[in-house]
Amino acid sequence: MIQELVTLDEVKKYLSIIEPDDDELLEYYIKGTSSFILKLTSRLFFEDVPDDIKLACCEIIGVKYAKRTRLGKDNETLSGQLVNYSKEDLTDFAQRTVDANKCWIPPNAQKAQRYE
C-alpha cells in the first residue's frame, strides 16, 4: 500500500475544486505522485508529512490536472492567441523540495530498509 502524502481534501482546496466530478482522477494522481516522491526521496514519512512535501505534491498534481486536456499538444490557439505548453512535470519548487528531502542510503544497507 502506498503512503499518500496529501489528502483529497488538501488537493481540492489547493486547486479550488468544490465538485466531486474529478475525485477519482485526483485520487489516482495522489497515489501516483506520492509514489513518485517517495521513490525520488527514498524516504517514508512515519510522522506528519512535512508541509513542503505536501505543497510539492499539490503542485505536481496541479500540473498534471491542468495538462489532462492537452496531452500530446505542444501548443494551441486560444482566443486568437498561441499558447505554448511546457513539458516539465516538476515545478522548480517541487524539484528543490524533493532534492532537499532525499535520503542517502549506503550501498551496503539492507534491502528491507529501502523504499521500493
Please state, in angstroms and rounded to a whole number, the distance separating the CA atoms of residues 21 and 1.
Answer: 25
Boundaries of domain holding 16: 8-113
In-domain check, residue 3 = no
95 phi, psi to nearest 5 deg: -65, -45
Instruction: Please check the confidence at residue 16 and state whether its pLDDT lies above 90.
Output: yes
Chain centroid offset of residue 44 CA:
15
Give the DSSP letter string of 18-33: -SSTTHHHHHHHHHHH
- Which three cell numbers mark 67? 495538462
Model confidence band, residue 115 (pLDDT cutoffs 50, 70, 90): very low
In-domain check, residue 2 = no
The whole-number pLDDT of residue 25 equals 93
In-domain check, residue 61 = yes
Parallel, antiparallel, or unpaired: how do β-strands 81-84 and 75-78 relate?
antiparallel
In-domain check, residue 37 = yes
Instruction: Please check the confidence at residue 44 and state whether its pLDDT lies above 60.
Output: yes
Task: Express each pLDDT in 62-114 by its tens digit.
Answer: 988 887 776 666 666 767 776 665 556 666 777 777 777 777 555 555 544 44
11: nearest Cα among 37, 3, 25, 36: 25
CATH of the domain at 20: 1.10.3230
- Which three cell numbers mark 13? 482546496
In-domain check, residue 1 = no
Q: Share the mean pLDDT of the chain.
A: 79
The whole-number pLDDT of residue 114 equals 45
